[in-house]
A = this chain, B = another copy of it.
Amino acid sequence: MYRTKTCGELRIANAGEKVTLAGWVQRLRKMGAMTFVDLRDRYGITQIVFNNEVDEALCDAANGLGREYVIQLTGTVAERSSKNANLPTGDIEIIAEAMTVLNKSEVPPFTIEDNSDGGDDLRMQYRYLDLRRNAVRRNLELRSKICFELRRYLNDHNFLEVETPILTKSTPEGARDFVVPSRMNPGQFYALPQSPQLYKQLLMVGGFDRYFQIAKCFRDEDLRADRQPEFTQIDCEMSFVDQEDVLQIFEGLVKHVFKATRGIEFTEPFPRMPWADAMKYYGSDKPDIRFGMKFVELKDLTEGHDFVVFDSAEYVGGICAEGCASYTRKQIDALTDFVKRPQIGAKGLVWIKVEADGSIKSSIGKFYSEEDLKKMTDRCGAKPGDMVLILCGKTAQTRKQLNELRLEMGNQLGLRDKDTFAPLWVVDFPMFEWDEETQRYYAMHHPFTMPNKEDISLLKSDTGAVRAYAYDMVMNGVELGGGSIRIHEPELQNLMFELLGFTPERANEKFGFLMSAFKYGAPPHAGLAFGLDRFVSMIAGLDSIRDTIAFPKNNSGRDMMNDSPAEIEQEQLDELFIMLDKEKIASKK
């Protein structure tokens, strides 16, 4: 062992002890005859003192150290004269007696500090140096702890962790698969799993009863801001349970992990909200309920005043922004610009202020009397000093826009504190989603989801109205995970494939082995999967998932550090029975 103690553990009680530490030189300061070195390892920082008057050679050696040199240091723990209350080891320092340079370092391309001067690309290229920064390492420590606590809880609840294959067959999630050419099976390819969905259902058929896996999943999608081609899922499945059992178990899981990793205790049951309400009151299937500002429908109050914009709209809805009557013209213009951005796409923004004295001002004052406007603000629950913001248009579209506006107002009013956590179950998702382009229904969750018993009669007659036994866990406006009760009867599953437009041949090709399995006594089962990366970033209070991942890829799916993907040798291609389409590649470049 190169050390007797870590750089994070020495306290005043250790004064007088002889210790050996090893770590990286964080900082070096000369003050007269003294040289101070901050020595850093994963566990903390400890100050080392070299005294030129006591040991000139040793002090000279210390003065020759550079940032990020790796040293081994022996000395005696002493109480500091000027203590550092910001550092757990701030009461002590080590009086250096011997030092070995274990490795030198070139000057790193950016500073190894919480606020580094390295830009994103540089940090990714030198990720191994970036990882030395507390701010980055802390997230990965948290991730490790979260995974352990997840496993502890699931283990305590009789779940078996089972690894499912990475070299597998296309899964039906609908995104593009990454594929792997098979050398031993010429012309054939494995697919990397988009999720272990089919395998976990087969494990239920196999009687495993309670399964989980912290599983790598893969999607070859054009990467949006916060997506990675490989991501990690906390994947779970249970047999002989109904929806209530599933919600209870996984609510317990989330409570356990928050308690164990952040000391946060959720004492109440998580609220539940039908999907239809989430859309009606928040315009989103993942409402942020850290704050109110629910949508209020105003269409009936707006009619018959010759205001064409509202009269021609299918939907008119408002939110009450508390204390915003004081918003200036400039602030309101900025909000209007915000909702008119192409990403949001509203045509305009209507506002009604309830002034401190109770009088009303509005951008639509010439169409509506103060009394008419007051009816609207009253319905929105606006008090003197508040402002009501109104959007209108097609129902679904406007709700989405109003959702964006609501979240923005939440930000502006400081209602979205990162240390407040508002969990929510969204339940009763619709079974199907209609796609205008292809003129057919798609499964909103996936084709194995059980329709609500009460709606089974509607499956053929009113397909779009069928609710599913599907549920999402939402927190602070982020979907942490979701799942469903699965179909376990082959007949119902076949009907579902038919409704989703699979020919029997295609269904058989894709899911034949699952349908075969279902012939041999599939138990009722249900499951859920959390996105681990997002789960960690939520608990860590991060805006992005990227810093919850040790070696993330950039938006082109490249690892900047090892510069992969990369060309491979012709010999490898030959062995795999494939050729590059060089013409097409050239045309792409």
Contact = CB atoms under 8 A, between A and B. Distances in A.
Interface of A: 1-3, 22, 24, 40-43, 68-70, 72, 102-106, 108, 126-132, 137, 140-141, 143-144, 147-148, 151, 155, 160-170, 176-192, 198-199, 202-203, 205-210, 216, 218, 220, 222-223, 229-230, 232, 240-242, 245, 488-489, 513, 516-517, 519-524, 549-551, 553, 556-559, 561-568, 572, 574-582, 584-585, 588-589
A242 B524 contact: no
A588 B577 contact: yes
A232 B189 CA distance: 21
Contacts of A179: 180-181, 568, 572, 576
Contacts of A562: 168-169, 198, 513
A564 B191 contact: yes
A520 B68 contact: yes
Contact of A167 (B165, B218, B523, B581): B218
A408 to B, nearest CB: 32
Contacts of A216: 163, 166, 216
23 contacts: A1-B240, A22-B240, A22-B523, A126-B517, A129-B205, A131-B203, A144-B155, A165-B559, A166-B166, A166-B218, A167-B218, A167-B553, A167-B557, A169-B564, A170-B566, A176-B572, A178-B180, A179-B568, A185-B565, A189-B565, A513-B562, A513-B563, A577-B588
A102 B523 contact: yes
A180 B566 CA distance: 10
A521 B105 contact: yes
A561 to B, nearest CB: 6
A187 B567 contact: yes
Contact of A2 (B207, B240, B575): B240
A578 B584 CA distance: 9
Contacts of A151: 148, 151
B576 A579 contact: no
Contacts of A105: 519-521
A558 to B, nearest CB: 7
A170 B571 CA distance: 14
A589 B584 CA distance: 28
Given A163-B550, A166-B216, A166-B230, A185 B42 contact: no
A226 to B, nearest CB: 17
A37 to B, nearest CB: 14
A533 to B, nearest CB: 10
Contacts of A209: 41-43
A127 B514 CA distance: 11
Contacts of A519: 105-106
A565 B187 CA distance: 9
A521 B520 CA distance: 59
Contacts of A70: 521-523
Contacts of A127: 202, 206
A442 to B, nearest CB: 19
A536 to B, nearest CB: 11
B232 A169 contact: no
Given A42-B209, A579-B581, 18 more contacts: A2-B241, A41-B207, A41-B240, A42-B207, A102-B488, A105-B519, A126-B517, A143-B162, A165-B551, A166-B216, A169-B562, A170-B568, A180-B180, A186-B585, A188-B564, A189-B566, A191-B568, A216-B216
Given A144-B160, A182-B557, A205 B520 contact: no
Nearest to A206: B131
B189 A568 contact: yes
B559 A169 contact: yes
Contact of A3 (B140, B199, B240): B240
A41 B130 CA distance: 50
Contacts of A162: 140, 143-144, 550
A399 B148 CA distance: 46
A565 B190 contact: yes
* Residue among A105, A108, A187 having the largest count of chain B Cβ atoms under 10 Å: A187
Contacts of A40: 207
Contacts of A164: 550-551
Contacts of A137: 206-208
A551 B240 CA distance: 23
A463 to B, nearest CB: 25
A217 B80 CA distance: 50
A188 B230 contact: no
Contact of A188 (B144, B178, B565): B565
A190 B165 CA distance: 18
A182 B568 CA distance: 12
Contacts of A169: 559, 562-566
A182 B163 CA distance: 25
A141 B131 CA distance: 36
